[in-house]
Each structure stands twice: as structure tokens, then as C-alpha cells.
Structure 1
Amino acid sequence: MRVLVTGAAGYLGRAVLSALTEAGHEAVAMVHSQRSNMTNAKEIRAADLLDSAALRRAVDGVDAVCHLAGLTRVRESMADPLRYFGVNTVGTIALLDAMAAAEVPRLVFASTCAIYGDVGGRPITEELPDNPPHPYASSKLAAESAIETHDAAAVVLRLSNVAGGRDPDPTRLMPRVLGAAARNEPLEVNGDGTTVRDYVHVSDAARAFVAGLEHLPAPGTTERYVIGSGRGTSVRQVIAAVEQISGRHVALTHRPAASEPSSLVSDPTKASRQLGWVPACSGIDAMIGQMWHDRSS
């Protein structure tokens, strides 16, 4: 298939381009500027989600869309919620309109497990009720609702914390801990470091988009899948793994505990059974080992 990837210049977008190419698909990258240096893209098309004319040109001649473009920062969404609804929800609707005009019948959408909110320590499955705790999650849920009204065959991937590889975001946990170890600096930790999260390797997450494309439901139908490693890892465990792999001690500075769920761990059983997808690269030690090696090389 000839597949347009929105948000192709991003951390996950680049991995999706690579996964599509490896699977034999023809990847078309949608980015803000054609000057972007993209690998694994057959073609680069410049467009913005809020530019309907550019979107029409971007979707022309493709068979499917992997929609990753959007805003993703929780705290930023709380400070500027309308911007998040404008890009994540209205932008998705604009893309759906462009797809309809171009008769593009297939869509895989990058959503988030944050939509479930605090699940009280239960494994996150597709059967849990939606309970978005902030505008970022609400804007993604609203985009999902718009997708449900579209005639395309659609797969929605609710992603856990994407990690590993060459993660460019210094605010995320693993880059922060690795940076503290590399610079021999103290690391600030909220509370006692027992908060547990599910981390899925960026390459595993990318392969989920390929699996979604290759196992689409009937036209006019939307299927949701939880995408995660199925394993929970605490902040303390991430720090311990970095110390073991790097051979360096990470000194901690404890801040007040944040108001957040104590444990969020996904159960990807449905994705495994229906899409044939498994998180092959999402072991914490392997992820941190690769990231430390990349920093040192």
C-alpha cells in the first residue's frame, strides 16, 4: 500500500516510516516543511492539519493514512486546552474530510491510553470505561469519536508510554535518568519513586501501525487496541537499571509526590490475538542498554 504518515518527522513518525518500508509498503511523509531530511520515505509532502487545501494535496493518490500528527504534552494541554482541541480534534476532522474527498478508505490513528484515566491499578484493557483526566486525553477521545463517524476502515491504537531508541525528548523519564548518569548530576524524582508505568519500545509501537494496516476492520468500522508492553516498571526500577548498565550512581533529589495514578499497565492481549502484534523489543534492560550505548557512541 501507498501510506501517508502524518507527523512523520516526529520520534514515532520516523519509526513508522521505517516499519512500513521494511514491511514492503510505500511510505509518504507528511511534514511541515519539504526541507525536512527524511529517510525511509518514498516522497515528502508538506502540509498542516489546519490547512484544508494542503491536506487535500497530501492525501492525493494514497491508499491509507497513519495519523500521528498532533500535540501530546499533558501539562501544556492544561494551560492551553483550546489549542489541543484545535489541533488534535479539529485537525483530525479536517484530515477525515480530505480523505473522504480523495476517497482514501483506510486509517490507523495514534491515540493514548491516558484516555482511561486512573484505573485503580487494574490492567488497562479495551473494556475499561473512558475517563480522560486532562484536555490532551479529551482531545484524543473526541478525535476518536469523529473517526467513528467516518466511512473508512479504521484502527485506533491507544498507546502506552513510547520509549527507547533515540528518544529526543529530555523531559521523559529514561532520557532524564540517562542524562543524569552521563553528567553525574542529581535527578529530581516526584515522591518516593514507586509510580509504575508501562513502557513500549518505539519500534514495537511502530510495528503496531503496520499490523493495524494489515488487519483493518470492515469499511465504516472502527476497532480500538491497547498497545503496551504488558509490564509495569517503577521509577526506582528504571533508575536501578540505568545504574547497573552504566556503572554509575544516580543521586536523587526528592520533590513532593505528584497527583497521579500509582500504576498504569496495559494489557495488549486483544492486539496480540487480532493483529498478531507482540512487544518484542520492550524489555526495560534492553531499552536502556541500547539508549546508553547510543549516548556513548
Structure 2
Amino acid sequence: MRVLVTGAAGYVGYAVGRRLVTAGHQVDGLVRAPDRALPQGVRPVVGDLLTPLALDEAYDAVCHLAALTRVRESFTEPLRFFTANVQGTVHLLDALKGSPTVVYGSTAAVYGTPESQPIPESQSASPSSPYGTSKLAAEDAVRYQAATGRIGAVVLRTFNVSGSVDGRGDPDPTRLIPRALAVAKGDTPHLEVNGDGGAVREYLHVDDLARAYELALAAGAPGTHRTYNVGSGIGASVAEVIGTVENVTGRDVPVVHRPPSPEPPLLLCDAAAIRRDLGWEPERSGLPEVIGSAWEALHMR
């Protein structure tokens, strides 16, 4: 297939492009500057989704990963998030030629904080942040465009992603695993934890997520749309993550406990649908391997 990856120089986009090239696809990577690092074999296409886009090529499929993703920032700059995540998606859809499959990278943040766990795709969307709301609106744009028959659509809702490929780890220093590893490396004196460290989340290796995008390319047909959760379904508490970081790195991670913050005690993914329909399985998402590859990437910077 001839595939366009947006956000191709980003954390997930890079991993997806790398995986697709390895699988034998012809891959173009949409980037805002020609000097951005891309996987070997990915051809750069310069463009900015914040303005109307002109694409010279027709593609069999598009993996749309260009987005703003930091939840806390979305509360202080909501319009910036809606512009990038919603209007950017509209600009992309408007530029596409032919009837490609669009695999849209969404987020579990569209669910908000449901009480029932693990979370299936049938759970009603109730986002609690401008980020989650903007991603849900972009999902709707993709689905309604699919309903016209102009594209096929597959929406992948991702939970927590970590790990690395080609020495490229998660660049977001606000997330738990990068924060804990920064302490282990000595870049930060201690890790601040809200409450007792009992909150449970799950973690998916970025290469396992890239595999889901590869499989989703063949899952869309013009006029159809599907939505899948992508996650390991294996929970780990904050305290367990810290303990694993200490075991993997052989270094202490001093912790300073802060008062508890209002957050759900448990968030887990039900990924039964993508396992059943596409045969996807997480292969690298055990917590030691996720943290180990992230630690290796930190030392390669």
C-alpha cells in the first residue's frame, strides 16, 4: 500500500512509519519541516495541517497521528487544541484524493472516568478535558466523512503508551515513566506522587501500538467505520511502576508524597474487539520491557 503518516516525526508516528516500512509499504511522512528525523525508508512530505493542505499524491491509506496531546495544557489553551486536533483533521480529510482508509489515532480520554472497568468501546463517551473533547470531535469528523463513502475509517483509542523504538522514547516529561526514569538517571532529585501511589493504569509498548496501525490498514472499506481500543489490559499501580524502574535501572527513585488529587483509582482497557477482529496482540508490553526500552532510549540521547 501507499500510506501517508501524519505526525510522522512524532513519538507514535515515527514508530508507525518504521513498522509500515518494515512490512513493505510505501510510506510518506507528513512533517512541518524537511529536516525532521524520520525512519529509514519514509519519504518526507512537507505540509502544515493548521492551514488548508494540498496533497500531490493519492494514498491507499492514511495514519493520522498529528495532534496536540497534553491534557493539562488543553485547559489553559483549549482553542489551540481544537484548532490542531479538529481543524487539522478537517484539513486533512478535505485534501485526500480517491477513497483511502483513514486510521485515526484517538485516545481513551474520550471516555472520561467511567466507574465500570475495564472500558469497552461500547462505553459512552464523556470526555472531561478540552483535549479529550477535541479528539472526540475529530473522531466524529472522520466517521461522518466515512458515511459519505469518500473514505473508510478505523479509529484507534489508545490508553498509556511508553517504551521506545530506534532509541526514541516518550518525549513528554510530564508522564509517569519518563518522570521516574529522570529521577533514576539523576536529572531530577525525587519523584512527586499524589496520594499513596495506589492509582492503577496500564502501559502499552509503542511498537505494539504501531502493530495495531499496521493491521488496521486493511480493516477499512469506503463507507464504513470501526472503533477499537488498543491497550494491554494489564494494570500497574504507581508504586509498582516505581518499583519496576528501580529493578530495571538498579537505582533508587526517591519519592515525595503529595496530597491525593481527584483522579480515578483504576483505568483499564478492554481490547477484546481488536484482538478478535484484527488478530492483534501486545507482544512487548510487559512492564519490565516497556521500562527497559525507555531506559535504553534515555541513555542514547
**TM-score after normalising by structure 2:** 0.93
What secondary structure is seen at the aligned counterpart in 2 of 1:264?
coil
Per the TM alignment, residue 43 of structure 1 is displaced from its structure 2 partner at its CA by 1.5
Structure 1 stretches lacking a partner, 5+ long: none
CA offsets per residue over residues 234-256 of structure 1, 9 Å max, x none? 11000011112222222111112
Kept in 1, the 8 Å contact 2:82–2:134? The answer is yes
Name which of 93, 96, 111 aligns with 1:96.
93
Kept in 2, the 8 Å contact 1:20–1:27? The answer is yes
Is 1:229 matched with 2:232?
A: yes
Relative distance call for 1:35 and 1:245 in structure 2 (3 A) is closer
Match for residue 113 of structure 1?
A: 108
What secondary structure is seen at the aligned counterpart in 2 of 1:185?
coil
Match for residue 23 of structure 1?
A: 23
Match for residue 55 of structure 2?
A: 57
Kept in 1, the 8 Å contact 2:204–2:290? The answer is no
Per the TM alignment, residue 157 of structure 1 is displaced from its structure 2 partner at its CA by 0.1
Tell me the distance in 1 between the aligned counterparts of 2:201 and 2:61.
Answer: 32
CA offsets per residue over residues 172-230 of structure 1, 9 Å max, x none? 111111111121722111111111111110001111111110222x3111100000011
Match for residue 199 of structure 2?
A: 195
Name which of 161, 172, 175 aligns with 2:175.
172
Match for residue 211 of structure 2?
A: 207
Match for residue 156 of structure 1?
A: 155
AA at the equivalent of 1:12: V
Per the TM alignment, residue 294 of structure 1 is displaced from its structure 2 partner at its CA by 3.8
Per the TM alignment, residue 11 of structure 1 is displaced from its structure 2 partner at its CA by 0.5
Kept in 2, the 8 Å contact 1:121–1:262? The answer is no
Q: CA RMSD, aligned part only?
A: 1.4
AA at the equivalent of 2:6: T
Relative distance call for 1:296 and 1:69 in structure 2 (3 A) is closer
Match for residue 283 of structure 1?
A: 286
Kept in 1, the 8 Å contact 2:58–2:98? The answer is no
Is 1:87 matched with 2:90?
A: no
Per the TM alignment, residue 296 of structure 1 is displaced from its structure 2 partner at its CA by 4.4
Tell me the distance in 2 between the aligned counterparts of 1:75 and 1:117.
Answer: 14
Match for residue 143 of structure 1?
A: 138
Identity %: 48
Tell me the distance in 1 between the aligned counterparts of 2:37 and 2:124.
Answer: 41
Instruction: Report how many aligned residue pairs link the two structures.
Output: 291
Kept in 2, the 8 Å contact 1:32–1:46? The answer is yes
The equivalences for 1:113-132 within 5 A come to 113-132=108-127
AA at the equivalent of 1:14: Y
Tell me the distance in 2 between the aligned counterparts of 1:249 and 1:118.
Answer: 32
AA at the equivalent of 2:203: Y
CA offsets per residue over residues 59-97 of structure 1, 9 Å max, x none? x23221100001101111111111111111111111111
